[in-house]
Amino acid sequence: MSNIKLFRHPLSGHSHRVELLLSLLNINAEIIDVDLMTGAQKSPDFLKKNPNGQVPALQDGESFFSDSNAILVYLATKYDAARRWLPENAEHASEVQKFLTTAAGAIAFGPAAARLVTLFGAGLDADFAINTAKNVLTNLNGHLAGREWLATDHATIADVANYAYIAVAPEGNVSLNDYPDVGAWLKRIEALPGFVAMTNSPVGLAA
């Protein structure tokens, strides 16, 4: 049995980014689904793993980690000896952090929020979420023009953190048709050795 356990929900993009990096790093983790519909994430047992009562949570030995981007930093620092996924170079590390902030900000309030409305009936402002999504996708499409990856000349956790909610943006009524460079970037991620798709969500949605 693996020493690492990922507590996730299969439709959670935050969970998927951790699951994706585990796979890209070839880490054999035990995947444990948490039933959000029954409130399992608020149970006393789960709150010991993540006091915020949210997925994902990661257990490595006796230690627990929460916040998907923080987990990416942990895994990339501890398990990637080459430090490709989180470069030590100060300029590159700064670029990675910038896009982790994008994932936690505009992506969360844009495509991720729009998807929460359509898939889960969340009481959020759908128009605001869709407009936020269009703005960030326009910016990312411009950034990706003439380059392959978000932060450096190779894939990093910046790409991992932003992938899922952009890939499934059409599930929140956010079309990707107007963002060809974003679509090409999604396909490059999906071609990485070890890529895994989000459960029940199609890949290649930009096509």
- pLDDT grade, residue 205 (50/70/90)? very low
For the chain, the C-alpha Rg in angstroms (whole number) is 16
pLDDT of residue 199: 76
What does CATH list as the number for 90-190? 1.20.1050.10
Does residue 204 or residue 75 have the better pLDDT?
A: 75
Average pLDDT, the chain: 92
| pLDDT of amino acid 44 | 77
Asked if residue 198 has pLDDT above 90, the reply is: no
CATH of domain 4-79: 3.40.30.10
Please report the pLDDT score of residue 2 as a whole number: 62
**Sign of CA pseudo-dihedral 73, 103, 57, 44:** positive
pLDDT of residue 168 exceeding 90, the answer is yes
- In which residue ranges of the chain is CATH 3.40.30.10 found? 4-79
Of the chain, the percentage scoring pLDDT greater than 70 comes to: 95
- Predicted confidence band of residue 1 (pLDDT cuts 50, 70, 90): very low
Q: Is the pLDDT of residue 102 over 50?
A: yes
pTM of this prediction?
0.92
What is the C-alpha to C-alpha distance for residues 124 and 147, in angstroms, rounded to an integer? 34
pLDDT of residue 117: 94
Alpha-carbon span 92 to 86, nearest angstrom: 8
What does the pLDDT average to over 111-125? 92
CB 181 within 8 A of CB 139: no
Max Cα distance, the chain (Å): 49
11-62 pLDDT tens trace: 999 999 999 999 999 999 999 998 776 777 878 777 888 887 788 999 999 9
Name the nearest CA neighbour of 37 among 127, 107, 159, 120: 120
- Token code pair at residue 6: 């990922």
Helices (H), 30-89: 44-49, 68-79
**Span 130-142, average pLDDT:** 98
